Amino acid sequence: MVVFGGTSGIGQAVARRFVEGLGGRVKLVVVGRRRARGERLFGILPEGPRRVYVDLDDEESPAEVSREDGQGCSYTFLACDISLPSVLNRACAWLRERYKRVNFLMLTAGPAFSVGERKVNEEGVEERLGTWVYWRFAVLGGLMCVSSSLLSVCES
């Protein structure tokens, strides 16, 4: 299960319920910006699966996971700012490389509410468009080839 926005709110609640329902027998990837929130969530999930923290700016951490991937259950925190297309694309590439199949994908990241002036970030993306709309299409496109339901359609 991959949950963009799984460190808080709706995404965290669903991820927690899902993992608890399966007694921790899952591969969970929580995507967000704040590792501390990921640590807090993993602290209350069932014991057993190893905890992995991935920062794609840290050359060591992805390598560690690529060696271990596929070896049992895990709770992984993947640091990613969805408002930055370059970071988001790297996160999707990282997921594609390590998981042959994603059975459940949740896209609940982003601010609950946003008002104020139009702001454009350093990658030229308008903030509200970037955090409400663009990133969801980018993730769907980026993970289409490993999405379980789409694979099922293709295979049938």
Residues within the interface to ligand NAP (CB under 6 A): 5, 7-11, 32-34, 37, 80-83, 108-112, 131
State the nearest-atom distance from the C-beta of 25 to ligand NAP, in Å.
Answer: 23
Pick between residue 68 and residue 127 the one whose CB is nearest to ligand NAP: 127
Q: CB 98 → ligand NAP: shortest distance, Å?
A: 19
Q: What are the DSSP E strand ranges found in 1-104?
A: 2-4, 27-32, 50-54, 74-79
State residue 94 phi and psi, 5-degree precision.
-60, -45
Q: Which residue is nearest to ligand NAP (CB)?
A: 9
Minimum distance from CB of 136 to ligand NAP (Å)? Answer: 9
Determine contact, residues 30/75, Cβ cutoff 8 Å. yes
Closest distance of CB 135 from ligand NAP, Å: 8
Angstrom CA distances, 136 to 15, 55, 92, 143, stand at 18, 21, 11, 11
Instruction: Closer to ligand NAP by CB, 10 or 129: give it.
Output: 10
Cβ atoms of residues 84 and 125 within 8 Å? yes
Which of 36, 153 has the CB closer to ligand NAP?
A: 36
